[in-house]
A and B are shown apart, each in its own frame.
Chain A
Amino acid sequence: MSDAQEIKKIVIARLETLHPDKKISIGSSGEFSRDELIERVKLGDSVGKKIVQIELEFLRSLKKGMLS
């Protein structure tokens, strides 16, 4: 499995912990349910890429201890 596929897998696993009935507003990109976000990450479109970016930046911040 490539790095990109591995990252997608991790992000999807993290998204699965979101509430299935809540929606997320991502500005002008629109509003999405948890399952729609997962689909976008699988597709790799602009919304999917944004979600991957958020997850990775958050994980990096955790690692750097920037959240304490």
Chain B
Amino acid sequence: MSRRLLITRPEHDDTTHYLSSWSKKIISFAESKGVRVFDLNRRRANKKEVDGLLSKQKPGLVIFNGHGSDNLVSGHGNEPLIIAGDNEELLSGKITYAISCKSAKKLGPRSIDVGAKAYIGYDDDFIFFYDPNKITHPLKDKTAKLFLEPSNELITSLVKGNTVEESYNRSKKYFKNNFKKLLSSETTEEETSMARYLWWDMIHQVCLGSKKSIF
């Protein structure tokens, strides 16, 4: 049976528009590796569809793009998709990566308690810079790339067959390399000043559960 990946891509503001666009690279890469991708874009990133696909298709890897809080991740129009104390058992047996704020604080640990293999996410706000002039072509935005490529690296690495721990470390290393790049003498003061936000994402990206898990 082919490996299965579920990804949510709400698009209702600049943040979700950027996360969704940068996820297209992940989808193409996963499909090129023979992974069956369930892509819940825009209005399809809703609770009913997520519940149904997680229950019936049992994807090994689940990627949430969107807003979040301590105890939930949300979809299109900020509809809560997975809520601690409500339906976190849907993540049981799966590796989850949530590119959203704070969900690794409570939802992550709760999902591990009820049998999730691993939960990678952020225990505080996930922050990135972007160039509003590139809003119609987010993938050409070199500023956003500094923040979103290190995040994508984690998924690419999992799809390649690396463990959760290896993938997490590769993502952290990518954040750190970009951070150092921004501090180099070749960058402008304006570029250097973004470095502290890359550092923020790096230190708040956390990995819970079995680090030896493989997708």
Contacts and interface: CB of A to CB of B under 8 A. Distances in A.
B38 interface: no
A58 B196 contact: yes
A23 B143 CA distance: 10
B29 interface: no
A14 B195 CA distance: 12
B189 A29 contact: no
Contacts, number: 74
B133 interface: yes
Main secondary structure of the interface of A (DSSP, over half): mixed
A27 B127 contact: yes
Given A25-B130, A29-B125, A18 B190 contact: yes
B189 A17 contact: yes
Interface range, A side: 20 to 34
Interface string B89-119: 0000000000011100000000000000000
In this complex, which of B126, B133, B193, B203 has the most chain A Cβ atoms within 10 angstroms of its Cβ? B193
B194 interface: yes
Contacts of A30: 13, 15
Interface in A1-55: 14, 17-19, 21-31, 50, 54-55
Interface in B174-204: 179, 189-194, 196-197, 199-200, 203
A61 B13 CA distance: 33
Interface range, B side: 20 to 34
Contacts of B179: 67
A34 B125 CA distance: 18
Contact of A21 (B132, B200, B203): B132
Nearest to B180: A67
B49 interface: no
23 contacts: A22-B130, A22-B132, A22-B143, A22-B190, A22-B194, A23-B14, A25-B129, A26-B127, A27-B101, A27-B126, A27-B127, A28-B68, A28-B101, A29-B125, A30-B15, A50-B125, A54-B127, A54-B197, A57-B200, A58-B196, A58-B199, A58-B200, A61-B199
Given A19-B194, A61-B199, 14 more contacts: A18-B190, A18-B194, A21-B131, A22-B132, A23-B14, A23-B130, A24-B197, A25-B14, A25-B15, A25-B18, A25-B129, A54-B200, A58-B196, A67-B199
Across the A-B interface, give the 4 residue pairs with the lowest CB-CB distance, nearest first: A27-B101, A28-B67, A19-B190, A17-B193
Interface of B: 13-15, 18, 67-69, 78, 100-102, 125-133, 143, 179, 189-194, 196-197, 199-200, 203
